[in-house]
Each structure stands twice: as structure tokens, then as C-alpha cells.
A and B are shown apart, each in its own frame.
Chain A
Amino acid sequence: MNDMKKGLRDGIPICLGYFSVAFAFGIFCVNSGLTPLQATLISLTNVTSAGQLAAVPIMTHAGSLIELALAQLVINMRYALMSISISQKLDSTMTTPHRLIISFVNTDEVFAVASGRGSEEGSVGRRYMYGLIITPVIGWTMGTLVGAVAGNILPAAMSDALGIAIYGMFIAIIIPVAKKNLVVMKVILTAVLLSCLFAFVPGLNKVSSGFVIIICAVVSASIFAAIAPVEN
């Protein structure tokens, strides 16, 4: 199987997960007063769930452009970490023009899958990346459109259940590695513990979700990078 096909194969679960999450986003947009076309354009040009979800109320409540920019900066700052991390695994086929295009779709899931591939194969090339990113963008954009236009057709029990799909995918990415690498297991458990503190402890639960992810991830990864650095 060539690299493009492997990328396409690995992108399909992301596409399906995105379709269902974007579907819910489309409904949310229309209920907030955006047109289906506007909802679809947001998804096509941003390809980020948390950032978009935060942006819609700012837009519809006539918030300032500065507020919007800051919200996106904080919520999406994690992508900068991911871009640095993945940059270490890209091979020589990833020249600047390709990086300019592929980075546009450096989402959590694309990053996670590409990292997994990079760890397995040693590096990631542009053919694999193009294969990987194409269906998630389509799924994210089309899911938003379909949700915005026909959101109320799907039975609630079904659209509710789809909400868990994306998290199931995250679990499928991290558990097999954690099983073989005890330090990775500890990294994950530490981040989860911190994340639960931010979710449930009064006061801490006021911190915005973008910040929470950055804090938990940076603290946990730093601790184990210091006490249990990766060999070679």
C-alpha cells in the first residue's frame, strides 16, 4: 500500500468522528443565528472544534475582534506545541510549500495519528500527510453543512451517542502506546488527574478549556521529560 493510501485509510475514522461532531456544531450555529453557509465557511476555514465553538457566541453577541482573536489564541495555542512536536518527525519531502498547506489541518486528531505514524516509521512524509488530512477536512465541513441544514432529522438518541466517537478515537491512540511504555502511561495519568482537578475543584473550574489543556499537558510532559527522559 502506498503512503497516500495509508494516509487515507488512517484519515477515515477521523473523518467519521468529525462528521458527527461537526453535525452538532452545525445545529449549534443555526440555533445561534448563523446561516448554514456561514456555519460551513467557519468549519472550512478553521477546522478546529473548541475554537469554533467559542467563536460563535462572540460573533453573534457582537463581541470585539480583539476578544475573538484572543480567545482563538488561547484555545488554539496547543496547536503550536503540536506543530513543534510533529516538525521533529517530518521527512525531507516536507518542503516549505507543503508545510504551508498541511499545517492548515494540524488538528488534535491529525496530529495524534501523524505522531503515532512518526513513532512507528521513524518519520512522516508529505504523501501520507495529504492522504491523512483530506477526508477529515471534508468530513468536518460537510458534517457542519448537513447539521446546519437538516440537524433535526437525526433521532436525539443517535446524535447523543455520536458525541463519544471522537474520545473513543483518542483512547485508541494513547492506550496501545501506554500499554508498552510505562512512562507514557504515567504522563497520561498525570495529565488526566490535573484535568479532573480543573474540571471539578471550585475556582479551578473557571479556567477556560484551552488553558486547561495547555497547563495539564505542559506540566505533565515537563515532569516526565525531567525525571524520565526518552532514550536516544
Chain B
Amino acid sequence: MPYGEFFKYLAVMALVTYLIRMIPYVAFRRKITNKFISSFLYYIPYAVLGAMTFPAIFFSTASLIPAVCGCIVALILAWFEKGLLTVAVCASAAAFVFGLIF
């Protein structure tokens, strides 16, 4: 697409995305003492990642079975507290291998 148009879109999306991230990051300085709010903020990352992972992981490869196999491998390795890279690579490898079979 023409660069003149493109840069208008780029500026808008980059600015909106940055402001959403930056304002709370800079503005919140004091420790939140309210028990509900601090508990909410403690739980939020796990809830976000859970909701982002399931069911999306099952549709992350070309077909369902390799994705399910990759997911099971990831769950088992994560249960035994393997590192992020190990889990990610093994899940991909499992999806690749089962993708060739199915």
C-alpha cells in the first residue's frame, strides 16, 4: 500500500498500543494494599495466560491431533518444571512429528 497512507495507520496503532501499556506502568507507584485488588492483580496473569492458551492451542497447528499431542507434551514437561525453551521446543517437535503421521 502507498507509504503516505501506511504511516498514518502505523502512527495511530503504535500510539494507542504504547499508551495502553505505558500509562499504567508509569502511573502506579504505590503498593496497592487493598486485599481484593492485590489478590486480583496476583491472579490476573494466570487467568490471562489460561484464557489465551485454551482452546487456542488446539487450533495452533494445521490439524487437531498434532496440536493435542504437542499440548500433552507441554503439560507433562511443565508439570516437571522444565524451562520455557525446553517446553516450547518439545511441544513444537511433538506437533511436527505427529503432523507427519496424521
Interface majority SS on A: helix, strand, loop or mixed? Answer: helix
Find out whether the CB atom of B46 lies under 8 angstroms from the CB atom of A174.
yes
With A38-B6, A170-B53 already in contact, the answer to whether A164 and B46 are too (CB < 8 A) is no
| A165 interface residue (CB < 8 Å to B) | yes
Find out whether the CB atom of B23 lies under 8 angstroms from the CB atom of A80.
yes
Find out whether the CB atom of B62 lies under 8 angstroms from the CB atom of A171.
no
Find out whether the CB atom of B13 lies under 8 angstroms from the CB atom of A80.
no
What is the number of residues of chain A that contact chain B, defined by CB distance less than 8 Å?
103
Find out whether the CB atom of B91 lies under 8 angstroms from the CB atom of A164.
yes
With A100-B26, A161-B93, A164-B71 already in contact, the answer to whether A51 and B17 are too (CB < 8 A) is yes
| A96 interface residue (CB < 8 Å to B) | yes
Most buried by B among A106, A165, A194, A195: A165
Hey, which chain A residues are within 8 Å of B38, CB to CB?
88, 229-230
A-B contact pairs, 15 of them (CB 8 A): A17-B88, A51-B13, A76-B16, A80-B24, A83-B25, A157-B62, A171-B74, A174-B53, A176-B78, A188-B46, A225-B39, A226-B36, A229-B35, A229-B38, A230-B35
Contacts A99-B26, A175-B79 aside, 13 further interface pairs with beta carbons under 8 A come to: A45-B14, A82-B44, A87-B27, A96-B26, A104-B21, A160-B62, A160-B99, A161-B96, A168-B89, A170-B53, A179-B79, A217-B48, A217-B51
